[in-house]
Amino acid sequence: MAPDQLLARAREAWLGMAGVPMVFPADGGVDVAVSTRSLLCPPGWVGIVALGDAAIVTVSEGSTAGTVRQALHGLPVGILTYPDRLRAVLPVAEVLGPASLAYLDRCDLPPAGAGLVGVIPGGHADLAAFLASVPAADADECGLADITSEAFVVRREDRVVAAAGYRHWPGSMAHMGVLTEPGHRGRGLARAVAAAAVADGVANGLLPQWRARPDPSRRVARALGFRELGAQVSIRLRA
């Protein structure tokens, strides 16, 4: 799949989550729309998704749309997900993100770690025990508690120390989650379990998506062949 086709597929998926008809402007601009069904952000927030040289933005109320449209007009798409730049033009009360958005073409599938990675159900007690053993912030960030796929794991002494899986998102996306226990990082375990999870998502006809904030997670994605195509951020405006 060519880079522009990968971008088009990612954009199509996010447009489906906007809840209303929208477009990523062909001229590289920003499309702002009112949507009470948007999945780009929490209810009542402003959701911004920039992919390539264009962006879509959803707001929950019509009275907010004009303010947001005017504030973002003329800003380079590349800075629309920067919280500091948004605070300079909008009354931002709270921010979620930003997170990079990276995608993988099936032609770029990484090799799986044969014999290293096992498979357990997503709701398995061993996965729950693993998530309970790591820092709470890590467990929340990885999203493994919400996967709809099986969990792909590496064990040490019969204990899970690395795991990956994905949640089936709208638009036929496999939203990836991966985590390694702090004491076992730097050994390639995240790449091994993630490669297995990615292969499973592709085999099921899904587009692997890696949404990440921490740099270590982004480095794992790049090592697997994911291409960063944009970013997402959600903001809550002051009344």
Q: How many distinct helices (H) and strands (E) make up the chain?
A: 7, 10
Sign (positive/negative) of CA torsion 10, 36, 166, 219? Answer: positive
Which tens digits make up the pLDDT trace of 89-117?
999 999 999 999 999 988 777 776 667 89
User: Could you read off the pLDDT of 127-146 as tens digits, one per residue?
Assistant: 999 999 999 998 998 899 99
Please give the pLDDT value at position 2. 53
Whether residue 187 is predicted with pLDDT greater than 80 in this model: the reply is yes
Strand order of the β-sheet with 207-212 is 30-34, 54-59, 46-51, 227-237, 92-103, 207-212, 173-180, 159-169, 151-156, 118-120
Average pLDDT score over residue span 208-227: 88
Ranges of beta strands (E only) in 80-137 are 92-103, 118-120
What pLDDT, on the 0 to 100 scale, is given for residue 43? 94
Residue 30 CA, chain-centre distance (Å), reads 20
Contact 213, 203 (CB under 8 A): no
- Structural domains present in the chain: 3-100+231-237 (no CATH), 106-229 (3.40.630.30)
The closest alpha carbon to 156, from 126, 113, 194, 112, belongs to 126
Longest dimension (CA), the chain: 58
Q: Cα angle at 153 between 114 and 115, to 5 degrees? A: 20
For 163, which DSSP code?
A: E
Number of residues in the chain: 239
Whole-angstrom distance, CA of residue 42 vs CA of residue 226: 26
Q: What is the pTM of this model?
A: 0.89
> Does residue 237 surpass a pLDDT of 80?
yes
The mean pLDDT of the chain is 92
pLDDT band at 3 (very low <50, low <70, confident <90, very high): low
Residues 195 and 108: their CA atoms lie apart, in Å, by 11
Which residue from 68, 67, 99, 66 is spatially nearest to 81, judged by alpha carbons?
99
Q: Taking a C-beta distance cutoff of 8 angstroms, is the pair 164, 190 a contact?
A: yes
Tokens of residue 91, six digits: 């009354």
Eight-state DSSP code of residue 25: -
Query: What digits encode the pLDDT tens for the residues 30-84?
Result: 999 999 999 999 999 999 999 999 999 999 988 889 999 999 988 999 999 999 9
